[in-house]
Structure 1
């Protein structure tokens, strides 16, 4: 009957009656006389039968199917017992049915309970088939949803990918493969940091910035967003990409990093540009050098080819980085080289940036562009440096000494038509003429 489920109060009464019956059985052996025990057993028997039949009728009224079999079985058993009692009392004649009424009633009870068991099995079987069918339908719907989601991921215009906790690719969509020209197997064998674009002599900065952001994903639920450059297979130029990463943990305990990226496209208004003049004041975050150089060089494509644009961008980036590091934060070449070797470059930048002596210093950048030339003026608030000595240094000697920082200035001299420092060395003016517009 599952009385605990359908009639919990009656279920607790069953336990009380059970205890009383056990107590009466034990007392019949040791405590009371035969007459008292007989009366007590009759009372408990009638009470038990009344409880069982009443509970069966109650549960049947509640609509529980197996209660009908339960009541029928008990009625057959009680009917057989009643026939036997009435025969013993002389009310009914001594016949086969009255003599074996209890046995016949018990047999009928067992038969009806067996029928009830079979009915219950059929119910469970039908329920199982229904659940299997529902599960099959749900599985088909799930597969359809999975196919739709996979199609959305594969055909999305953005990069969509996943990384494991070591930042290795575990899934990449077709857009990722198409734009960067790598095959799926190639990408799945790579680490995220391996895709970061390497510049020839300052290739560590991009990876350092990306590594810093990856390390911010310290626990599930955290997310980061940053701009970086991805390298392309067989192509030297990087692809500027805005990346969003989110650290996920699934119900089964699995963890992974979900990534999404989109190519930073050219400003559509650039094609209508005639001239522009802008001034910036920026804080001492090295990442600002990448963002600002990308933004200011993007408009050069309006007046010059991609090679000029990339050269100006790279050189301007180095000048801004020098102004931040060696100008405002007064980091020496040796200090920077040591920090890069030890992997503490960003910690050094942060330490100097929080120093009261340097924390309020700014970089000021003036920029103008027209159809003839692009010009920049970068000013820091540092102590300056001996630019004459650096500009006179032979590039071959710099290569021999492996002075990467010095080569940045030499590259800028080669990239721009005019490179002019002030006396103090904390301001530099850069001018690049567009040859196609020069007479």
Structure 2
């Protein structure tokens, strides 16, 4: 019995190598079962026909012997065709061959009806098996269900029509016809019983499996939920008690969550910050482009989203009730959650580099590309060395002026952006897009800005050299000091502010190099 059970299970799973989803595997098993019922019904009819033929040959051998070959050919051709259809399904891994099996079965019942006539009731077998299509397909597969129903309905209609249009090709005596009719009823009811029992058993097994899985899930939830609550409490404790601002935001910069450190660091509660953008807390630029600080942060985030999974940069965030902003080091990390990009961020206070306390003299040279974020990074890196010599407000002002000159070298020097072009782009609200397009232009892409600096106990000196065509610095300064229209603009005042902060601002004749000098108080 075990061997028979194994063979039966192997038959039900035949062809399953082509299918992967639970629905496809279930469909394959049901289809193999229905094919087996087809062979069973055919075998039952063959036995009944042979018994009836044996009785008829005893009554009139010469007349009824002619019945043998038509029925023999039909009952051999039918299982052979079904076997070929099973082979096609298992070989090619397609369920579309079921249309052929339905057509073959309907044709088989129609020919038997044509052979034996209405009183035998072969059409009842076809009528009984029509609902099987609802076992084969899931709810909503109306196209497949409709095609199968049309094929079997056409076979049934053809059988009923044949009763009215023709006489049976192989009529039987009345007493044999009555017996054959009963046998046909038994076959029809037997098929109905078998596939109804199978369906009932599958429903029972499914309900049992669902109940088992439900109990398992409930036990798992009872064990898991407390652990998750403990883990979440630990995580929330770590986040809220951190000395750093920890937050989540989306690709547009909207803050999704914020820990309680934000209140201690900036004066804003987490509720006040959630729903707003990170850029809303970046202070305005001083004496220059009012959007410059925010645009630098936007550029950091843009490059981060396009090219990196982790980025670090330095910026300032404004306090709620104080004018002086806070210098912070921001780290952003990209995570993919439910196919959506979420950004985990951390903002930490700038840690003093203790080695700068021992600085006596330093000189160096840097070369940056035409990315304004590089100007921000370099200005921060060099100017943090000045904390030994100047107060924080003075250092911050020096850094802003130095950054303004670097950005001028990038924009007006290397990229050749005129004052009027920048004015129009800012008024149109697309200056960053305009700047990026210039950076990608092959004519300007290879240009850089060379920065030499010197710091000692007596003087601070910067020399900034760009690779552009230079500009009329004298004419620009004269215009900036006397043109009321320029005074109203949000940009163009960086050079004037730098001249007020540094003791000496000297351009070369071409206008592509400037030397900034500031005495260090003794």
Please state which band the TM-score falls in when normalised by the shorter chain. 0.5 to 0.7
Runs of 4+ in 1 over 6 A off after TM superposition: 3-7, 10-21, 121-128
CA pair 275-14 structure 1, distance change in 2 beyond 3 A: closer
Query: Which sections of structure 1, spanning at least 5 residues, go unmatched?
Result: 37-120
**Deviation sequence 1:371-409 (CA, Å, 0-9, x none):** 333121212232322222333446464566424443111
Which residue in the other structure is 1:258 paired with?
A: 344
The separation in 2 between residues aligned to 1:127 and 1:406, in whole angstroms, is 70
The separation in 2 between residues aligned to 1:349 and 1:168, in whole angstroms, is 24
Match of 1:239 among 327, 350, 354: 327
Match of 1:205 among 261, 284, 292: 292
CA pair 156-396 structure 1, distance change in 2 beyond 3 A: farther
- Normalised by the length of structure 1, the TM-score is 0.67
Equivalent residues in 2 for 1:30-429, closer than 5 Å = 31-32=50-51, 132-164=218-250, 166-200=252-286, 201-215=288-302, 223=309, 225-227=311-313, 228-235=315-322, 236-250=324-338, 256-393=342-479, 395=481, 397-398=483-484, 401-429=487-515
Structure 1 residue 233, shift from structure 2 partner? 2.2
Q: Is the 8 A contact 2:290 2:491 kept in 1?
A: no
**Deviation sequence 1:326-359 (CA, Å, 0-9, x none):** 1222211011122223344334334434445434
**Deviation sequence 1:2-38 (CA, Å, 0-9, x none):** x9899825979998997777567656765416999xx
The separation in 2 between residues aligned to 1:277 and 1:413, in whole angstroms, is 22
Which residue in the other structure is 1:117 paired with?
A: none
Q: Is the 8 A contact 1:217 1:247 kept in 2?
A: no
Q: Is the 8 A contact 2:480 2:493 kept in 1?
A: no
Secondary structure of 1:358's partner?
Answer: helix
Secondary structure of 1:32's partner?
Answer: helix
The separation in 2 between residues aligned to 1:166 and 1:126, in whole angstroms, is 45
CA pair 136-32 structure 1, distance change in 2 beyond 3 A: same
The separation in 2 between residues aligned to 1:232 and 1:362, in whole angstroms, is 36
Which residue in the other structure is 1:8 paired with?
A: 9
The separation in 2 between residues aligned to 1:11 and 1:277, in whole angstroms, is 82
The separation in 1 between residues aligned to 2:394 and 2:370, in whole angstroms, is 27
- Normalised by the length of structure 2, the TM-score is 0.57
Secondary structure of 1:232's partner?
Answer: coil
Secondary structure of 2:390's partner?
Answer: coil
Q: Is the 8 A contact 2:317 2:328 kept in 1?
A: yes
Which residue in the other structure is 1:109 paired with?
A: none
The separation in 2 between residues aligned to 1:345 and 1:392, in whole angstroms, is 26
CA pair 207-132 structure 1, distance change in 2 beyond 3 A: same
CA pair 355-188 structure 1, distance change in 2 beyond 3 A: closer
Size of the aligned set, in residue pairs, is 350
Q: Is the 8 A contact 1:315 1:408 kept in 2?
A: yes
Q: Is the 8 A contact 1:165 1:257 kept in 2?
A: yes
Structure 1 residue 415, shift from structure 2 partner? 0.6
CA pair 10-196 structure 1, distance change in 2 beyond 3 A: same
Q: Is the 8 A contact 1:230 1:241 kept in 2?
A: no
Q: Is the 8 A contact 1:213 1:224 kept in 2?
A: no
The separation in 2 between residues aligned to 1:394 and 1:16, in whole angstroms, is 92
Q: Is the 8 A contact 2:317 2:325 kept in 1?
A: no
The separation in 2 between residues aligned to 1:6 and 1:372, in whole angstroms, is 96
| CA-based RMSD | 3.8
- Structure with the larger helix share: 2
The separation in 2 between residues aligned to 1:383 and 1:25, in whole angstroms, is 99
The separation in 2 between residues aligned to 1:260 and 1:28, in whole angstroms, is 82
Secondary structure of 2:279's partner?
Answer: helix
Which residue in the other structure is 1:66 paired with?
A: none
CA pair 360-195 structure 1, distance change in 2 beyond 3 A: same
